[in-house]
Structures are given as C-alpha cells and as structure tokens.
Structure 1
C-alpha cells in the first residue's frame, strides 16, 4: 500500500486534493440525482393529477352524447380512460405505495363532491398498468398485432415504447377512479415516472469536463505550493557546499518572502562567522609562526650539534602541526572557486606525481571522459592524504575511479591490516589516531582523514572506509556529477 502513495510532497498534496475533489463530485452527483428523481416524481404526479381533474370536470359537464367522443380523443398510448357504469374493483397488488394516499387526497380536494379511489403500485412491470388487471382498458383498446399496444401483452406498457425505451427509467402504475353524477365512473390508467435517467450522457460529459478542469487546476495549485520548498532545499544544499552561494530571490507570497529573507539572513550570519574565524586564525597563525621563527633562530645558535638538531626537528614538527591544524580549521575547501575538470585525468595525474615522488602507488581502472565541477586544489589535498595514508600503513596504494549516472567514486586501496569495524567512523574525526604513541613517524597528528572527509563534504559528497575481504582498507570518495 505504501508503494502506491507518492513519496514527494507535491504528489501527496495532489493526491489528497484530487481525492477530496473526487469525493465532492460524487457527493454532488448523488445529491443531484436524488433531487432529480424527486422532481421527476413530483412533476409527473402533478401533471397526471391535473389531467385527471380537468378531464373529470369536463366529461361531467358536457352532454352525455359527447362523453364517448371526448374520452376517445383524450385516450393515448400513455394515458387510458374508460367510462363504466359500475364501481371498479381495486387491483390485487402486493403492496401499495404510500404516495397514493397523498395523490388521492389531492384529487379529493380538487373534486370534493366526488368519490375517488387511487392505487399506485411499484411492481416494476408496466404490464400491470391499467385500471385493474381483470378489465385493463387496453386489453380491448388496440392491443394486438396492429394496435398501438402491439408487443408482449403482459410485459410492456404504454411508456415502454419509442424514445422512453432507450432511457434507464423506472415507472409506477397509477390507477384512479372518479365517480360522476349519475353513478358512472371514470377510470384512468397511466404510468408515472419513478425516477429519471440517473446518469445521462450530458451529465457524464459535464462531470468529465469538471473533473478534468479541477485536476488541472489542482495540479497547478499543488505545484505552485510545493515548488518553493524545492527551491529552498536546493538553496540549503548549495549553502552546505559553498557559503558564498547566491542568496535566494525574495518573491512570492508573504510567507515565502519571509522564509527567503530568514534564509538569506542566516547565510549572511554564517558567512560573517566564517570570515571572523578566518581572520582570527590568520592572526593566531602569524603570532605562533613569529614565535617559532624566534625559537628556530635561537636553536641554531646552540653549540651542541645533537641538541641543536633535536631542537630544530621538534620546531619543524610543531610548525607542520600548526600548519595542518590551522589549515583544517580554516576549511580552505570552502574558499576555493570551483571549476569543471576531467576527473579521470585529474586522478591519474595525482597518482603519477606520487609515483614520481618515490611512493608505491599504482593505478587501477579509471573511467575516462568524465567531467565534473570541483575544487581542484582541495580535492588534490584530500586524495594526497588518502594515498599517503595507504602507503604509510599498507605499504602500497592502488587508485581507481568509476562513474555512475549520478556520481563519481574514487577508490584508494591499501594492503595493510585494516581498521577494526567499530573504529571506521571514529578515525575520520579530527585528532583521532589508532596508534596511541603520538609518534610523528608512526601516526601523524590525526588530521589526514578528517581533512579528506571535510573536503568531500564541501563538494556535496562523502568519504567512506571499509575493510577489504582479501585484507587491507578501501577509502572511497563519492562526488556528485
């Protein structure tokens, strides 16, 4: 079920709105159809009642010799009239519809001096339409091969022919009898529509057009509401890689403008913080280097050669530590401008340079023709640190590179003892060394991997370490294309 739910905010918003709109359309259609059915019943019943009332008054008021002619003229396929001398027998039906009482009350109110009998049945078969089945008028008024009621004698009614036959409509049989002056009875038989066509082609077309318009407007609205979040996410990602990235454009609704302004203010504060930190580190570096230079000058004046060499070596190590620490603290990768380079040729050149320097470095498969945007000086430093560590702790380094559709992976393998699994994440933290002696000849100062990880993150990538099955360690820098 979760796989059917969109994962993006736009998809979820669009789905929610469309489901809501769809339910609203269904509810509206149901209300419309229900109201239409009630209107059809009311209009059909009122028209039949008025016709019965008017014909009863007319036939009662005209001379007796005119009555047959009027009845013959008023008869049609959908409305049957018969003049009888005896009171008709009520029809034998399974159930009477309650509306028959209201219909009869309406006729009695309009014809107060007449006896009125009404039966309204809902058995779903038009053949039951007639005054009462044992003397249905159309059984003697044209039914047969050539009559107007031709067809299955007991299965079709007057309203089931012509255009009505194409409609998905249900009918109710109306039987009414009105007593005239002199004791004669007028019997009326017709059918009343119980419901109109529930889903006419015009209604289906209208619903389809409305659904399409609502879907388009909903998609546009959902995209308009969610697209600023995508812009904000992209800006935050750019800021993570480069604090000097262009600020967000302040536009859109009041809430979006407020969010963009807050984001730009945060970016300005971060930029100011980094600039202040860089200035402070520059001042510290200048003061410390000044003192180290004085120490070096004084050490060179020491007469004892062994003491002088040890002092100069210690001062050199302190200078190297100071340079590495300040470089890491300044995060120089964030200040370098990016450029597009052939990353395969770039990696090969670094491996060749370190081989020329006398290190045991070889190249593995390296993808060619892959161009990405990066900060070459910072990336060179990161790869140099990884290769240097591989040679120092594994004896030999193998450099390879592969490219996928979304990223570039640079691998540095060594043949050393590897790193315990529970220490793989810890060794990338600043000043962490697995070799605890703090001897510069065996363990460095613990910044090489931390600097490489920081540079990879500044490119929007990652540095990961894993032990090889055949022994040794693999360091992988993954960079986005």
Structure 2
C-alpha cells in the first residue's frame, strides 16, 4: 500500500519536473516580488521625503516673504495640495511638550539631512497617533503626520498629510502579470517535457509487451543520451534473453532425446522379465522418469510455444479434462457455463488446467469445478476437500520444484512443477491465479481470464434469472 507521501508525490518524470519547476518559479517570483517591494518602497520613501523637505522649505519661504497676516493665511491655503495641507497660525500644530517618538526623531533627522536649511530653523515633527496633537480621537488630524516650522516673527507654518509615512499597497496588476508569465512558462515546459520523456514511455511500453514467443522489434534509439543508452541496453538485453532461451531449449531438447532413448530400451527389456511384480515396478519408475522429463521441459520452455493463438472454447477444454478423470473413476463435478470463449493456445491451456485439476484430485480426492462469468471476465474455481495449504506457503507453491512435506509427500509423486507451469501459462494468457483455503477444509484455486466477445452463453437449462452457479451442466460420480 502506498504511503501518504507516495500518493501525494507525482510518479512520472514529467510531473516531478513540472513540480520542481513550479516550486522554483514560485520561489523566484516571491523573492523577486519581495526585492521589488523593498526597492520600490525605498525609492518611493526617499522621493517622498525629498519632496516633502523641498516643499516645506519653499512654502515656508513664500509665507515668510508675505508680511500681512491675512495674506499669509491665503498664501498657505493656495499652496496646499491634496496630499499636503498648509496652515499659518500663531501657534504650533505639534505640541512642544509632546514626547518625541522614535519615528518622529527619525523623520526629523531625515528632513534635516535632505534640507540643511531646516537644521537652522526651529521646527517640530510628530504623528497624531503618537499624541503630538494632544486632542481626542475625533480630531480631523487623526492618523496624519504633522510638521510645524517657526518663522522669524514667532508664528508657525503647519503641514499635515495622511500620505506621509503611509505604506504602499500591493499592485495587483503586477501580481497578475507575474502569474500569467508563470502559467505560460509551466504550459510550455509541460509540452516540452512530454516530448522529451516520450522515449521513456516507449521504453516502458516495449518492456511491458516483451514476450519470448514474438519476433522482437528493436526499440528506436532516440531522445536524450541517457534515454538512448537505456533503449540500446534494452535492445541488447532482449536479444540476449532470446538467444539464451533458444540455446536452453535446444540443449534441453537434445538432453530429452538422449534420455528417452535409454528409457525406451529399458521399457522394452522389462517386457522380457518373467517376474510380473518387478516388471510393474520398473514400468512405474520409467513412467515417472518420463513424466519428470516432460514437466521439466514444459517449465524450462517458460511460456514459449510455436502454437498459434486462436479463439478456443475454454469450457470444452475443461470438460474434456473432467471427462478423462471421470473415466478413470475420480470424483469430479463440473458446473457453470457451457461456453467460455478465450484467445489462447489450446495445448498450453489444457496442460495448465490438467495440472490444476489433477493436483486437486491427487490431494483432495473429491473435486468441484465451476465456470462462471463476472464483469466480462471468466472465473474458474477448482475446489477440493484435501488438507489445504498453510498460509505461509501459499506463495511458495508456485516456485519451481517446491513440494510441501505436510500435504505433498513423496508417495504422491510429482516434481513440484505442476502449479508453477500452470501459473506461467495463465499469466502468459493475461490471467490471474489465486489460492485460498476453504472454511470447510480443502483448497480453492481461482483462475480469472478475459472473455472474448459476447456469445450470450448461458448454462444449459438455466433461465434468464438463474445464476451461473445454478446451472444444470454438472457431472459427478462417487
């Protein structure tokens, strides 16, 4: 089962590259936006402070050059703007006994630095929020920055502005443009990454479709150098596997031929023996040797067969196997579908189901075979009444030459290849095989295979509402 990290983290190379690209772009844009904000605010603050200092000095000069008091007040109002209000009065707008705050001291030093003329003047800087005005919350100057400059005659020019010292708001147009650029980069990168990783997908498909019984088609060696090397290695590996399997089959065929010749000679010589019990024992041993040779060859063939894939009726194949066992006096029952079309190799499938049913008869004596259909899949179950298999050994029984001591004693014969060959054939045909112990005792083997076409097959004698398991196609002898 996948962990939470595995489910969240992308699986493909392209998706991981896109995730890394998006993370890098996001970090880059956040850092760039932060640098932009800091730089912009620094420049804006410097320009604002310089403009304030220049306007304070120029307005103060203009009002100081006007001798008439009413005229001074008019000049002050005329020089006011939307961002800076100017008033002339006999008193300072900033209280002289107000406690100077840190930001007021910093702004005062800043103005003196930008306008050296103010350093020789008596002026005060304060913020209404810090109590420089000394009035209630309803005062009109609340949230404003205040500057008072004293003239030579003792009167004051008072400046107030809500824009001074205000923080800059986020420019959403810049954010939108940044997002559009990021999305465009991701889309282009996604298309390019899909193009760049296409050879990897072709390699994966070729590996999944690799089969020993098909003529290998070389995988195109294109793409980046790493992908070309992987494709070249895959082609080389496939050729080596094909050559290895071919050489192994040729060697085993030669060994099989060489072994069958002395076995045949021994069988002929045993016919000349007058001791009937001894002759029967020798014939049994020779038959077991031939069976071992056939099983080993079938296993070493590894699913490779020259038989063509064609449409076959799996129900008829299983019925033939069951009939053979019934003729031998075994207790076998067959029920379910009378038609089960599949694509495959008849001899291989017959060998696989012969091994499965024969194995059930050998260790369970009474066997029930059911052919059913579920979700366009054929489901064949083979149940016996034997001792079953320990849960810890369920996977081991598919390994070659494995024979369980508890229920697969040497007296039962066999080479330990029956289920191995059956599983290999079923998997080669795109099916699955599972083992499970029955609650009432015995083993249940379930084989699932893809059904071909829709023949509308119903168990003989069953009505439309009747389930497959209630079919009357059943044979059994005690």
> Smaller-chain TM-score range?
0.7 to 0.9
Unaligned runs of 5+ residues in structure 1 are 135-151, 158-170
* CA–CA separation in structure 1 for the residues paired with 2:241 and 2:254: 20
Q: How many corresponding residue pairs?
A: 437
Matched, 1:419 2:425: no
Contact 1:338 1:376 in 2 (8 A): no
1:408: Cα distance to partner? 5.4
- For residue 357 of structure 1, give the secondary structure of its aligned residue in structure 2: helix
Number of the residue aligned with 2:147:
175
Contact 1:53 1:107 in 2 (8 A): no
Deviations 1:355-398 (A, max 9, x none): 332524433445977x7654443222111111122233323432
Question: Which aligned pairs between 1:157-236 and structure 2 lie closer than 5 A?
Answer: 172-180=144-152, 185-217=156-188, 220=191, 231-236=202-207
Matched, 1:357 2:307: no
Contact 1:38 1:195 in 2 (8 A): no
Matched, 1:154 2:139: yes
Contact 2:356 2:422 in 1 (8 A): yes
1:272–1:406: structure 2 CA closer, same or farther, 3 Å change rule? farther
Number of the residue aligned with 1:109:
116
Number of the residue aligned with 1:73:
78
Deviations 1:64-119 (A, max 9, x none): 6975654342134432333456777537367351432333313541457x514130
- For residue 129 of structure 2, give the secondary structure of its aligned residue in structure 1: coil
- For residue 209 of structure 2, give the secondary structure of its aligned residue in structure 1: helix
Number of the residue aligned with 1:2:
4
Contact 1:374 1:459 in 2 (8 A): yes
- For residue 9 of structure 1, give the secondary structure of its aligned residue in structure 2: coil
Deviation larger for 203-212 or 49-58 = 203-212
1:248–1:461: structure 2 CA closer, same or farther, 3 Å change rule? farther
Number of the residue aligned with 1:467:
437
* CA–CA separation in structure 2 for the residues paired with 1:397 and 1:391: 6
Question: Which aligned pairs between 1:253-264 and structure 2 lie closer than 5 A?
Answer: 253-264=224-235
* CA–CA separation in structure 1 for the residues paired with 2:215 and 2:25: 45
Number of the residue aligned with 1:146:
none
Number of the residue aligned with 1:121:
127
Unaligned runs of 5+ residues in structure 2 are 452-478
1:284: Cα distance to partner? 1.2
Alignment counterpart, residue 50 of structure 1, candidates 44, 49, 54: 54
- For residue 194 of structure 1, give the secondary structure of its aligned residue in structure 2: coil
Deviations 1:399-441 (A, max 9, x none): 23456669754321123333344544444333444477645xx
1:340: Cα distance to partner? 6.5
Contact 2:213 2:306 in 1 (8 A): no
Contact 2:49 2:111 in 1 (8 A): no
Number of the residue aligned with 1:90:
96
TM-score by length of 2: 0.74
* CA–CA separation in structure 2 for the residues paired with 1:313 and 1:172: 112
* CA–CA separation in structure 1 for the residues paired with 2:97 and 2:309: 97
Deviations 1:286-331 (A, max 9, x none): 222333344445455x363736666555444433332222222222
Alignment counterpart, residue 328 of structure 1, candidates 275, 286, 299: 299
Alignment counterpart, residue 446 of structure 1, candidates 416, 427, 436: 416
1:222–1:404: structure 2 CA closer, same or farther, 3 Å change rule? farther
Contact 1:238 1:245 in 2 (8 A): no
1:18–1:285: structure 2 CA closer, same or farther, 3 Å change rule? same
Matched, 1:35 2:42: no
1:177: Cα distance to partner? 0.5
- For residue 161 of structure 2, give the secondary structure of its aligned residue in structure 1: strand
Contact 2:318 2:350 in 1 (8 A): no
1:260–1:402: structure 2 CA closer, same or farther, 3 Å change rule? farther
* CA–CA separation in structure 2 for the residues paired with 1:448 and 1:414: 16
Contact 1:367 1:403 in 2 (8 A): no
Deviations 1:204-252 (A, max 9, x none): 4234424533554565567567766555444433337767554433222
Question: Which aligned pairs between 1:295-374 and structure 2 lie closer than 5 A?
Answer: 295-300=266-271, 302=272, 304=274, 306=276, 311-312=282-283, 314-331=285-302, 333-336=303-306, 339=309, 341=311, 345-346=313-314, 348-359=315-326, 360-366=331-337, 374=344
Number of the residue aligned with 1:166:
none
Contact 2:86 2:158 in 1 (8 A): yes
Cα-Cα RMSD: 4.1
- For residue 317 of structure 2, give the secondary structure of its aligned residue in structure 1: helix
